[in-house]
Structure formats: C-alpha cells, structure tokens
Amino acid sequence: MRHCRNCGTSVVYRVPDDGDTRERAVCPSCNTIHYENPINVVGTIPVLDDRVLLCKRNIEPRRGKWTLPAGFMELRETAAQGAARETDEEAGAHFEMQDLFAVMSVVHVGQVHLFYRARLLDDVFDPGHETMEARLFTEAEIPWEEIAFRTVRETLRLYFEDRRFGRFERVHTLDIQ
C-alpha cells in the first residue's frame, strides 16, 4: 500500500502508537491505520458417485491446468455462499452443498483456502468463461501432474483418503508455506 484509502496521503510503515506490535501502513496526515489481512479463497469438491468434478482453467494463473471450482470470496457472502457461487460460475453444475472439508493457510501469498464437499445432482455442466472444460474424474483418472495448485492437490488427496476409510468426520487443517 502506498496511499491512504481515506485521504490519499502517502503512508509510512511503522508500528502504530496504539499498543500494536506489528508494522502497519499508517497515514501521517489523518492517522488512519491500514490493516492488511489474508484473502479467502472458497470452493467445493463436487462429487458424483466415485467421480470428482475438475475444471480446466481458461485464465491465468495456470491456464490449461485442472482445479476444483474455487475463487475469491466476495463481500456480503458467507464462505459457503461464495463456494457455491464459484462452483456455479466455473462449472455450471447442479449440486447440493455439504460440510466444510478443509481449511488451508497459504502463508506466502496471504490467503486462506476453504473447501466444502458438494454432492452433484447430475453430470450436466455449463462452464463459464473462466473454464475451458468441466469433467468428472475417478481417483485413478485424476491428472495429478496437471493440477493447478498445491491446495487443490492436498484437498483431493485428503478427500480420497477419507473416502477410502469411509469417513468425513472432521475438518482438515493444513499450513502451506
């Protein structure tokens, strides 16, 4: 951040005088302290029988790679609403939302990824402009070397592991450095 969102003055980075312990962007003119916080990425693991729905990315980063339907959470929506919206936008899938499955802190990019399980109601998809192709894969068919993001790879790994054990009893947490 270079300029104050309130008045436009160039900010300085320092520890605020309010007892804070971290360096923050502070406006020397209006004294506004600007906090920079992680961004939430929300998505689903859409499943039909023994197959998982993946989307081939039509946008950067990692255009042409496969991912679970996911994206940035918007203001005025819950994490589950955002995950459902992203699944609709990217895959055009008909589905029923289920429980939160995984929370992953991606520290180096300042993001938190939340994935929900989703039960597909059919195998009809109408992908949006961000997706080249939406397709169902069994575990053996997953193009592991073509998965776009580590969080997606880890989520899929955990999902298939839980499915093998016949349980989805807990939310998985993982820190990715």
**CATH 2.40.128.630, domain 1-36, yes or no:** no
pLDDT tens-place values along the chain, 177 residues long: 999 999 999 999 999 987 899 999 999 999 999 999 999 999 999 999 999 999 999 999 999 999 999 999 999 999 999 999 999 999 999 999 999 999 999 999 999 999 999 999 999 999 999 999 999 999 999 999 999 999 999 999 999 999 999 999 999 999 998
Selection from 59, 115, 63 nearest residue 87 by Cα: 115
Within the chain, all domains assigned CATH 2.20.70.10 are found at: 1-36
Task: State the Cα–Cα distance between residues 160 and 140, nearest whole angstrom.
Answer: 10
Task: State the Cα–Cα distance between residues 56 and 66, nearest whole angstrom.
Answer: 4
What is the distance, to the nearest Å, from the Cα of residue 5 to the centroid of all Cα atoms in its chain? 26
CATH topology classification for 39-176: Nucleoside Triphosphate Pyrophosphohydrolase (3.90.79)
Residue whose token pair is 């998505």: 43
Classify 50 in phi/psi space as left (phi over 0), alpha (psi -120 to 50) or beta: alpha
Within the chain, all domains assigned CATH 3.90.79.10 are found at: 39-176
pTM of the model: 0.91
